[in-house]
């Protein structure tokens, strides 16, 4: 297994600034990864993705194995060439997407029906590794079972032991030396199970470690509780990745607990409804107050959208249902979150993370309205599923 270089560049409390060196380039953390589930970040071309400060992005094993199929991607020269993206790519194992479907779980793996056409599908640790190695991502994730919020402890215990066995099988089946393999810590919402899982998965030995089973509707405080019980028992000399989390408050609190990497669809999903993130809070550009507002979305933002277009223009695009609105909004949100994470990194290096953390709490407090800009609901651009955050399966696009 390829052990990529990883350094902890600075700490401020438990918050870390780190650097991962992958074959396709360096990844500095804290780092948010845009999600390109089906081999594309929705509404954003690779040309514009280059302008957003993105170091690494995510694609999904399950979806790509269904359409177009891993054999075709491999024949095209691998996922990087197929997508025309010359930067690191992490592939999810498919376990999170499967968890929300009707399924049959056995020791061998999971049988379910593909939600698009009803095709009977089987995923196992070995099958997930086979697909991800054919896709050729830089980082592959082990196949695990993601527990639903509120599951009984007895089931959680049995699931956790099975997941640990699956993770060992993933490691045994993974042979591609130029691809790193990350383990996943599970355990539901029981601190003792989280500690046990973190120690067990570390004992198996992986290139990095993820915290799974969050972003399933548990709420901010429960997320913090799980991280408090988990990260102290994860290896310090390896990257730590929190799966499926992306709100500013969640990001800063997870970094405060030692997490390095994140992915979420919230940034692009909200963009397609006209919701933009700024240093002063969320801005819904579809509100009528922006019809004659010629300021950029965020006067401090350096993205392509803010440097070239006004709130009035974006308001117009969403008002007429022009797809360019979704593209410009997505470019802004991705770039803004990368700037947000870069400023968080700088605050750690300079020893002022506490002040940055307070600023985020003041700007994006827990419990604030989901649409603080008020009345206008606006038009969603980008097709079905492009509206508000899906609590059941937030990492689907």
Q: What is the pLDDT of residue 61?
A: 94
Task: Output 397 or 223, whichever has higher pLDDT.
Answer: 223
207-220 pLDDT per residue, tens: 999 999 998 889 99
Average pLDDT over residues 237-259: 97
Cα–Cα distance, 40 to 60 (Å, whole number): 10
Q: Judge whether 209 and 173 are in contact, CB under 8 Å.
A: no
Residue 28: pLDDT over 60 = yes
Of 12, 207, 260, 263, which residue is the catalytic one?
Answer: 263
DSSP 3-state of 263: strand
Average pLDDT over residues 113-135: 91
Average pLDDT over residues 216-230: 95
Residue 391 binned pLDDT confidence (cut-offs 50, 70, 90): very low
Name the least confident of 121-125, 212-216, 383-387: 383-387
Average pLDDT over residues 94-116: 85
Helices 220-230 and 191-204 cross at an angle (nearest 10°) of 50
Q: What is the pLDDT of residue 147?
A: 87
Strand partners, 6: 20
Residue 385: pLDDT over 50 = no
Q: What is the pLDDT of residue 352?
A: 98
Of 12, 55, 92, 260, which residue is the catalytic one?
Answer: 92
- Read off the pTM: 0.92
For residue 139, give Cα distances in angstroms to 41, 73, 348, 380. Answer: 18, 16, 26, 33
What are the DSSP calls for 320-384, one per residue?
Answer: HT-THHHHHHHHHHHHHHHHHHHHHHHHHHTT-HHHHHHHHHHHS-TT--S-TT-S------SST
Residue 198: pLDDT over 90 = yes
Residue 381 binned pLDDT confidence (cut-offs 50, 70, 90): low
Q: How many CB atoms lie within 10 A of CB 117?
A: 8
310-365 pLDDT per residue, tens: 999 999 999 999 999 999 999 999 999 999 999 999 999 999 999 999 999 999 99
Helices 248-256 and 324-349 cross at an angle (nearest 10°) of 30
Whether residue 228 lies in the annotated active site: no
Mean residue pLDDT of the chain comes to 92
With a CB cutoff of 8 Å and minimum separation 6, the contacts of 346 are none
Going by C-alpha positions, the residue among 302, 299, 300 that lies closest to residue 310 is 299
Name the least confident of 86-90, 114-118, 206-210, 302-306: 114-118
Residue 367 binned pLDDT confidence (cut-offs 50, 70, 90): confident
Residue 250 binned pLDDT confidence (cut-offs 50, 70, 90): very high
Cα–Cα distance, 336 to 53 (Å, whole number): 9
172-184 pLDDT per residue, tens: 999 999 999 999 9
Whether residue 92 lies in the annotated active site: yes
Element containing residue 135 per DSSP (H, E): helix 125-135
Note if the bond before 68 is cis, omega within 30 degrees. yes
Q: What is the pLDDT of residue 371?
A: 40
Domain map (residue ranges) of the chain: 6-264, 270-363
Please state whether 205 falls in left (phi above 0), alpha (psi between -120 and 50) or beta: left
For residue 357, give Cα distances in angstroms to 32, 244, 370, 382. Answer: 16, 20, 20, 33
Q: What strand order describes the sheet that includes 25-29? A: 6-12, 15-22, 25-29
Going by C-alpha positions, the residue among 98, 127, 92 that lies closest to residue 112 is 98
Q: What is the pLDDT of residue 114?
A: 80
DSSP 3-state of 277: strand
Q: What is the pLDDT of residue 387?
A: 31
Sign of torsion over alpha carbons 125, 68, 48, 295: negative
Residue 376: pLDDT over 50 = no
Residue 368 binned pLDDT confidence (cut-offs 50, 70, 90): low
Query: For the domain with range 6-264, which CATH number is right: 1.10.3720.10, 3.90.45.10, 3.40.50.720, 3.20.20.105?
Result: 3.20.20.105
Average pLDDT over residues 17-22: 98
Task: Output 392 or 189, whichever has higher pLDDT.
Answer: 189
Residue 157 binned pLDDT confidence (cut-offs 50, 70, 90): very high
């Amino acid at each position: 297994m390829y052990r990529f270089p990883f350094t902890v560049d600075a700490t401020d409390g438990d918050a870390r600034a780190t650097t991962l060196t992958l074959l396709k380039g360096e990844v500095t953390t804290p780092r948010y990864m845009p999600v390109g589930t089906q081999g594309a970040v929705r509404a954003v071309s690779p040309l514009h993705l280059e302008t957003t400060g993105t170091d690494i992005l995510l694609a999904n094993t399950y979806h790509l194995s269904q359409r177009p199929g891993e054999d075709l991607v491999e024949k095209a020269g691998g996922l990087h060439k197929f997508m025309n993206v010359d930067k690191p790519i992490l592939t999810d194992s498919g376990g999170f997407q499967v968890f929300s479907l009707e399924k049959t779980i056995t020791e061998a793996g999971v049988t379910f029906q593909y939600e698009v056409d009803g095709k009977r599908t089987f995923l196992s640790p070995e099958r997930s590794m086979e697909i991800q190695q054919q896709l050729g991502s830089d980082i592959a994730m082990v196949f695990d079972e993601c527990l639903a919020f509120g599951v009984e402890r007895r089931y959680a215990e049995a699931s956790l032991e099975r997941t640990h066995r699956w993770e060992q099988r993933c490691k045994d089946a993974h042979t591609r030396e130029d691809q790193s393999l990350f383990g996943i810590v599970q355990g539901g919402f029981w601190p003792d199970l989280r500690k046990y899982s973190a120690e067990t998965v570390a004992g198996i030995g992986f290139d990095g470690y993820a915290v799974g089973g969050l972003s399933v509707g548990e709420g901010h405080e429960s997320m913090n509780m799980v991280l408090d019980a988990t990260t102290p028992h994860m290896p310090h000399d390896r990257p730590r990745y929190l799966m499926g989390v992306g709100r500013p408050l969640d990001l800063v609190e997870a970094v405060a607990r030692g997490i390095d990497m994140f992915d979420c669809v919230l940034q692009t999903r909200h963009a397609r409804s006209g919701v933009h993130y700024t240093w002063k809070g969320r801005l819904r550009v579809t509100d009528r107050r922006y019809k004659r507002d010629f300021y950029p979305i965020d006067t401090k933002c350096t993205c392509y959208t803010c440097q070239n277009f006004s709130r009035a223009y974006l308001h117009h695009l969403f008002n007429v249902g022009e797809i360019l609105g979704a593209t410009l909004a997505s470019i802004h949100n991705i770039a803004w979150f990368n700037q947000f994470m870069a400023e968080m990194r700088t605050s750690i290096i300079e020893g002022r993370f506490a002040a940055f953390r307070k600023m985020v709490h003041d700007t994006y407090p827990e419990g604030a309205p989901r649409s603080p800009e008020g009345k206008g609901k606006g038009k969603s651009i980008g097709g079905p599923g492009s509206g508000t955050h899906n609590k059941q399966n937030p990492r689907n696009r």
